[in-house]
Amino acid sequence: MTCAEFKENVAALALGALRYEERVACEAHLAEAGPHEGCLEELRKVNEASALLGLSLPPRAPGEHVWAAIEQEIGASGQTPGEKRPAHRTGAPSTRPGGRSGGDRGRRGREGLAWGLAAAAAAAAIAGVLAWRGEGEHRADLERRLASSENARIKAEDHLETLLARVRNVDGEREVCLDELRNARITLEEKERTLDLLGAPTTRLIQLAAQGDVPYRASALLNGDRNEAVLLSSALEPKQGKDYQLWLIRGNEKISAGLLEVAAGEPTVARIAPDLLRAGPPDAIAVTVEPEGGVPQPTGPIVLLGKVPA
């Protein structure tokens, strides 16, 4: 059987109206390796069309003329052309052994055959609907997976952009630290120690934000493995009778880390004592303005504050 011949019979195949040998030939054709000229697609379309058509029609009992037409078509009545058909349900039916008329048995047999054909068509329609729904669900699942993959790609790109922004920000902050360190009037040995701390892989760079309307900025280098920490700030404005005091905040505890040496127009570099870091990194670092000589606990306004990431 060729593809063209299969397509001519595909509608009858879907409705189960082919003879046995024709159906076998169609099924054998589908089982062939091919290539096919759209045979499977044509069968799917016919199944879908018959299923949708069958489901769109309301159930309706066939009239008497339908059965008469079926009898005439299949020649089950045994009449010859021109012979007059006796009227249904009139006169005395002929009886046979068992008390049933031959006409009743013949009619019931023909009705059973007709209902069998109808059942086969309904089964084909249901199979078509199931296949159509299955393909729809599969297509919907693929679309959901595609949408999920696209969302994942967008999130990954956003995350990468965030990381790149952080790297650029950290690089900028390191440059600020280097500038402050270059401009600070400290010994060459202290600069070398600070550069070594800045280059250590486990050193964290913490930004201290200005609090209130002050033009200050500061960065802290914190390395918990080495119990080292250094504060580098921009030029702080000296205040008569006041000192800038550095604090480590751990929970509700505020620990003084000493006074900052301030010179007009020069950056400030202050090293934090290792003993203050052995208990672990602080939660935050702050700078306040206090009475000259400092105080045990902060009383003045906070000018710089930075939270230490966990």
pLDDT digit string (tens) for 166-216?
555 556 666 777 776 776 666 777 888 888 888 889 999 898 999 988 888
The structural architecture, per CATH, of the domain 188-307 is Sandwich (2.60)
Distance CA 23, CA 21 (A): 5
- The CATH 2.60.40 domain(s) of the chain lie at 188-307
Size (the chain), residues: 310
**Residue 305, C-beta contacts closer than 8 angstroms, at least 6 positions apart:** 208, 209, 211, 284, 285, 286, 287
| Dihedral sign from CA coordinates of 55, 59, 64, 65 | negative
Half-sphere exposure (Cβ direction) of 249: Cα atoms closer than 13 Å: 17
| Dihedral sign from CA coordinates of 61, 65, 71, 72 | negative
Judged by phi (left if over 0) then psi (alpha if -120 to 50, else beta), residue 162 lies in: alpha
Note down pLDDT in tens along the chain; length 310 residues: 888 888 888 888 877 778 888 888 888 888 888 788 888 888 888 787 766 665 555 666 666 777 777 777 777 555 544 444 444 444 444 444 445 445 555 555 544 554 555 555 556 556 665 666 666 677 777 778 777 777 777 877 776 666 555 555 556 666 777 776 776 666 777 888 888 888 889 999 898 999 988 888 888 999 999 999 999 888 788 999 999 999 999 999 999 999 998 888 888 888 999 999 999 999 999 999 999 999 999 999 999 999 998 8
Encode burial over 242-260: b for 16+ CB neighbours within 10 A, e otherwise: bbbbbbbbeeeebebbbeb
Q: What is the pLDDT of residue 202?
A: 92
Q: How far is CA 209 from CA 39, 237, 300, in A?
A: 73, 16, 17
Q: What is the pLDDT of residue 94?
A: 45
Task: Give the residue carrying structure tokens 């069958």.
Answer: 54
Q: What is the pLDDT of residue 286?
A: 96
